[in-house]
């Protein structure tokens, strides 16, 4: 689990400036024994905002790639009807969440501990110091697909108090960056072991709701998938809790 | 007891949206990857009107819309009850991934919003919401919409230009991505009331098979559309 604290440095700048002034006056004081020791004011304790995100896989046979959870004040993970970012394309085609976590808008990000098998859950904790985050986004790939993902896009955290929790069920989206051929060569999950990310965009190139997998059993002869890999919405149960 | 009931009924009526004229901005987004929407009808009307109801047979006007994308019957029906309509805001088809926005000024008493549009290519699939109570408080309200089957035509999935009520077949696949030569998926429609659409079957043979639809392009899962209403 990686946690980064990009935004704290901006605020820290102010605090170290205050610290520097105090240090100077303390030095001045030590030169002259007749002046009483100055009282060093304690800087306010840093405030930590921590959110726990629990993700449960509701599908029958779609393992989920390690979940990416990000806190941000602007932007969004994606926009329906618009092109996917390359970062999201990576996650949706290969399950690799590293680029999503490294996006400029990310104030703090965390990855799940591993693949979430059907029926299983993972809880990811993400923290930010001194800045209250405005939004939370999370994404994971349904790995026995070409480019399906599910998650939360820019959920507002503004009115969330400590101890409060929000539970929701999410649908699956199609990143629109890879045609849903369902062939062995193009699906990276255990059902196929094929290619993950490919820079080529041979599909509609906009994000939509996913139409589900067809599977070989349901009439797509080239499909490596079976009836077991079909899914319906919702695909994830997510609960977000502000723990501090 | 009777007095108390009447009093609370009056209180409810006073707080109800039905008594206010409102300014609405309504955005409709196509959430699918391969389905087009026929001209969309958005309407604010009173509680005497219901465009559709699950488990109830479609009206002939709804059937016209669901089988051929023709909203004129519903518009006439709604004008008869002094509804406020935004008819065809996208000025034609709404392609996959696209959105359209309409402004709607509602008259006093028209406190319910309905939105309907046909899914192409389907036999009688439509998306919509019927009688959503418009909030009185200013703000932005978003909800997702499911696909329904009007229950008026068998889902044979054969594209033959048939869009008139009662004529079996799909009018057109606007994406020009469907096949031909389908023998027909079914000739039966067992549930003749409005119900949640079971989705299209499609097949992977564009020149034969049962269906003219492509099973990798013309299927969908709910929700199929998103409505965002801004109450000014």
| Chain A contact set for B223 (CB, 8 A) | 171, 209, 233
Residue A177: pLDDT above 70?
A: yes
Q: B156 to chain A, minimum CA–CA distance in Å?
A: 16
Q: Tell me the chain B residues in contact with residue A59 when contact means C-beta distances shorter than 8 Å.
A: none
Nearest to A174 among B33, B204, B223 (CB): B33
Chain B: residue whose CA lies nearest to A181: B216
Residue A137 to residue A132: CA distance in whole angstroms: 15
pLDDT in tens, B185-214: 999 999 999 999 999 999 999 999 999 999
What pLDDT is recorded for position B96?
98
A64: which strand partners?
Answer: A116, A142
What residue spans define the domains of chain A?
7-45, 48-242
Length of chain A: 244
What gap in Å lies between CA B50 and CA A113, rounded to an integer?
Answer: 50
What does the radius of gyration of chain A's CA atoms come to, in whole angstroms? 23
pLDDT for A1 beyond 80: no
Q: Give A174's contacts in chain B (Cβ within 8 Å).
A: 33
Mean pLDDT of chain B: 93
- Burial code (b: 16+ CB inside 10 Å, e: under 16) for B55-67 equals eeebbebbbbbbb
pLDDT in tens, A180-227: 999 999 999 999 999 999 999 999 999 999 999 999 999 999 999 999
- A44-48, A94-98, B13-17, B227-231: least confidently modelled range: B13-17
In chain B, alpha helices (H): 2-15, 60-68, 72-79
C-alpha B195/C-alpha A87 separation (Å) is: 39
pLDDT of residue A35: 65
Contacts A82 to B, Cβ<8 Å: 97
CATH architecture of the domain covering A48-242: Sandwich (2.60)
Distances (CA, A) of A78 to A149, B95, B148: 11, 19, 27
- Residues linked to residue A235 through DSSP beta bridges, in sequence order: none
Q: What percentage of chain A carries pLDDT values higher than 90?
A: 81
pLDDT at residue A224 in the model: 98
Domain architecture of chain B: domains with CATH: 20-232 (2.60.40.2130)
d(CA A46, CA A26): 23
- Token representation of residue B33: 């990857």
Specify the DSSP class assigned to residue A216. Answer: G
Q: What is the pLDDT of residue A65?
A: 98
pLDDT per residue over A133-163, tens digit each?
A: 999 999 999 999 999 999 999 999 999 999 9
CA distances for A173 relative to A141, A206, B184, angstroms: 9, 10, 30
Model ipTM value = 0.89
Rounded Cα–Cα distance for residues A30 and A10 (Å)? 31
**Dist CA B127 CA B108 (whole Å):** 27
Hey, is the C-beta of A159 within 8 angstroms of any chain B C-beta? no
Regions in chain B scoring below 70 on pLDDT: 1-19
CB-count exposure of residue A123 (10 Å: 0-12, 13-18, 19+): middle
């Amino acid at each position: 689990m990686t946690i980064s604290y990009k935004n704290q440095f901006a605020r820290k700048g102010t605090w170290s400036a205050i610290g520097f002034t105090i240090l100077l006056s303390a030095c001045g004081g030590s030169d002259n024994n007749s002046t009483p020791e100055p009282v060093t004011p304690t800087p306010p304790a840093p405030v930590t905002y921590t959110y726990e995100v629990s993700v449960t896989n509701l599908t029958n046979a779609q393992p989920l790639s390690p979940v990416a959870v990000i806190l941000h004040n602007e932007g969004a993970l994606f926009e329906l009807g618009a092109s996917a970012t390359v970062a999201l394309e990576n996650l949706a085609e290969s399950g690799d969440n590293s680029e999503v976590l490294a996006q400029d808008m990310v104030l703090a990000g965390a990855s799940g501990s591993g693949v979430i098998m059907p029926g299983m859950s993972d809880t990811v904790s993400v923290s930010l110091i001194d800045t209250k985050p405005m939004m939370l986004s999370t994404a994971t790939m349904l790995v026995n697909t070409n480019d399906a993902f599910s998650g939360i896009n820019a959920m507002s955290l503004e009115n969330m108090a400590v101890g409060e929790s929000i539970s929701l069920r999410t649908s699956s989206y199609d990143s629109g960056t890879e045609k849903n051929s369902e062939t062995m060569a193009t699906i990276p999950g255990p059902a196929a072991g094929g290619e993950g990310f490919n820079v080529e965009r041979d599909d509609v190139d906009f994000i939509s709701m996913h139409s589900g997998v067809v599977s070989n059993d349901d009439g797509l002869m080239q499909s490596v998938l079976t009836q077991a890999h079909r899914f319906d919405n919702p695909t994830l149960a997510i609960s977000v809790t502000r723990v501090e | 007891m009777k007095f108390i009931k009447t009093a609370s009924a009056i209180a409810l009526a006073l707080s109800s949206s039905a008594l206010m004229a409102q300014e609405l901005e309504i955005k409709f987004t196509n959430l699918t990857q391969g389905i087009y929407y026929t001209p969309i009808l958005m309407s604010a009307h009173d509680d005497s009107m219901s465009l559709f109801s699950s488990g109830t047979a479609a009206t002939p006007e709804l059937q016209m819309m669901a089988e051929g994308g023709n909203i004129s019957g519903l518009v006439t029906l709604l004008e008869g009850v002094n509804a406020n309509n935004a008819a065809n805001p996208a000025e034609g088809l709404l392609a996959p991934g696209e959105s359209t926005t309409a402004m709607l000024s509602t008259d006093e008493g028209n406190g319910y919003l309905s939105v309907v549009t046909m899914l192409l290519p389907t036999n009688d699939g439509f998306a919509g919401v019927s009688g959503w109570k418009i909030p009185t408080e200013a703000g932005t309200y978003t909800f997702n919409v499911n696909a329904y089957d009007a229950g008026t035509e068998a889902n044979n999935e054969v594209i033959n230009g048939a869009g008139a009520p009662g004529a079996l077949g799909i009018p057109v696949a606007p994406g020009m991505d469907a096949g031909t030569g389908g023998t027909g998926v079914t000739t039966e429609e067992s549930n003749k009331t409005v119900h949640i659409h079971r989705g299209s079957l499609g097949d992977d043979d564009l020149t034969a098979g049962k269906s003219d639809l492509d099973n990798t392009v013309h299927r969908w899962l709910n929700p199929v559309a998103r409505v965002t209403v801004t109450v000014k």
